[in-house]
Amino acid sequence: MVVEKNAPLQPWNTFGIAARAHTLVRVRSAADVHAVLADAALAPQPKFVLGGGSNIVLTGDVKPVVLKMEIKGRRLVEETSKAWIVEAGAGEVWHDCVAWTLEQGFPGLENLALIPGTVGASPVQNIGAYGVELQDRFDSLDAIDLVTGQPFTLDAAQCGFGYRDSVFKHSPSDALGPQGLPRGMGLGGRAVITHVRFRLPKPWKPVLGYLDLERRRVEAGVEQPSAQQIFDWVCEIRRAKLPDPAVLGNAGSFFKNPTVSPEQCSDIIARDPKIVHYPMPDGSIKLAAGWLIDACGWKGKTIGKAGVYEKQALVLVNRGCGADSVTGGEVMTLAKAIQTSVYERFGIRLEPEPVVV
Ligand code: EPU
C-alpha cells in the first residue's frame, strides 16, 4: 500500500482542477483495501474512491482518505456458446480495455469507445453512448464493503442500474434508491469496486441505431460493419464533438438529459418546434440537454475560467490551466447560471451528471 500526504489531485481529475488530498492511497490490489481497513490511522476516517477522475468536480481539498484505484488486469474468464465473459481490474483505463477486447476478438463494447475514466467507475454511473449502456454488457462485479471489510459480488439487478445511475450513486440515507428502489439501497461511499466482469453476447450484432453512427455507416457505404469499424467511427465522432481532456479539461456531459411527460413536451414543442426529443419505452420523452442549453445561448460562453464548449453545449470546460486552472466553485457558478436560464425558459430543472466533491 502506497500512502501519500498532501497529494496533488490536479493530474487525477479530467477537469484539471487544482486541489489536494490530505491523504491518498494507491490501491493496487484488493489486499491494499484490506490493509487500509486494518490500519489504525486510516480505518476510522471517511473514504473517497477515485477512479479516472472523469466525472467529478473538486470544490476544495479532499479531507476523506482518497483511495486511488490502480488495480490492473484483463482476462477472459469464460467462453460459452452464448457469450464471452471478460474481467478487468477497476484501475484499468476504460478505453484501453475496450480496445483490448476487440484485439482479442471479443466484440461488444465498441460503441463505448473513448469514454474517459476507469473500468471501476463504469458501473457507478452506468456509462452509455451511441445506443449502448454498460448495463447491456454487464455481468457482475466484485467490491469490498468499506465499513465491514467484507468482499461481495453484485449482479446487474443488484446494481440497480438506471440512466447514468446505480446503487453506487446513492447513499443509504437517500429518500429513494436508484430507479425508485427503497431507501437504504444505496452503497454510495460505502463500497469500493475492485473488478468488473462484462458479458459480451454471441453472436455479435452491431448497434447502429444512433443517428451520428448511421450517418457514418451510410457515408462509408458499408452494409454490415465490423466491430472494429464501429469502434473507429465512434472514436471519430467523439473526437469531432467532444474535447480531449488531455488538451481541454472537462468532465464529459455536465448534465443528464432530462425526461418529461408527453404533455410537457407538447407544450414546449408548441413554443420551440425544433426541440430535440426522443420517445422512451415507458412513454416519457427524453430531451437533449445540450440542445436546451444551446437554445439559451450558452454555447462558447465563459464565466470566470469556466466555459461552455463551443461544439457541444452539454460539456463545461476549464478555460484556465496549471496553477491558474478553473475552480470547482467557478464550474458550479456557471452550472447554476445555466440551470436557472434553462428553467426560466423551458421550466425544466437540469440535473448535474458529475459528482461534486
Ligand atoms: N445538440 C445541440 N446543441 C448542442 C449539443 C447538442 O443542438 O450544443 C443537439 C444535437 O444536435 C443532437 C442532440 O442535441 O441532436 C443530442 O446531442 P448528442 O448526440 O451530442 O448527444 P447528447 O445527448 O448531448 C449523450 C450522452 C453522451 C454520449 C452521447 C452519444 C448524456 C448526458 N450524454 O449526449 O455521454 O456520448 O449521447 O451517445 O446522456 C457523458 O455522459 O459524459 C457523455 C458524453
CATH number of the domain at 266, please: 3.90.78.10
Q: Which has the closest alpha carbon to 250: 15, 46, 13, 59?
A: 15
Query: How far apart, in whole angstroms, are the C-alpha atoms of residue 70 and residue 336?
Result: 34
Classify residue 235: in a domain, yes or no: no
For residue 102, give the CATH number of its domain.
3.30.465.10
DSSP tag of 14: T
Query: Does pLDDT of 237 surpass 80?
Result: yes
Residue ID of nearest Cα to ligand 1 atom 2? 291
For residue 8, give the CATH number of its domain.
3.30.43.10
What contacts 104, CB < 8 A, 6 or more positions away? Answer: 76
pLDDT of residue 209: 87
What contacts 153, CB < 8 A, 6 or more positions away? Answer: 140, 141, 142, 143
Mean pLDDT of all residues belonging to the chain: 95
Classify residue 289: in a domain, yes or no: yes
Classify residue 229: in a domain, yes or no: no
Q: Which residues line the pocket of ligand 1, CB cutoff 6 A?
A: 129-130, 210, 241, 252-253, 256-257, 276, 288, 290-291, 294, 299, 312-314, 353
Q: 125 near 164, Cβ under 8 Å?
A: yes
Residue ID of nearest Cα to ligand 1 atom 13? 288
pLDDT of residue 172: 77
Q: Residue 233 — very low, low, confident or very high, per pLDDT cuts 50/70/90?
A: very high
Closest ligand 1 atom number to CA of residue 309? 8
Q: Could you give the residue numbers annotated as active site?
A: 164, 253, 353
Last residue of a domain, one of 46, 69, 92: 69
60 lies in the same domain as 139: no
Number of domains into which the chain is organized: 3
Helix (H, G, I), strand (E, B) or coil at 182: coil
Ligand 1 pocket test: pick from 111, 253, 310 the residue with the most ligand atoms within 8 Å of its Cβ. 253
Cell digits for 290? 445540450
Dump pLDDT digits (tens) for 15-36: 999 999 999 999 999 999 999 9
Query: How far apart, in whole angstroms, are the C-alpha atoms of residue 196 and residue 33?
Result: 16
Query: Does pLDDT of 175 surpass 80?
Result: no
Q: Residue 173 — very low, low, confident or very high, per pLDDT cuts 50/70/90?
A: confident
84 lies in the same domain as 169: yes
The 10 Å Cβ neighbour count of residue 37 is 17
179 lies in the same domain as 280: no
Dump pLDDT digits (tens) for 116-133: 999 999 999 999 999 999
The rounded Å distance from CA 296 to ligand 1 centre is 16
Domain span holding position 142: 74-206
Closest ligand 1 atom number to CA of residue 313? 8
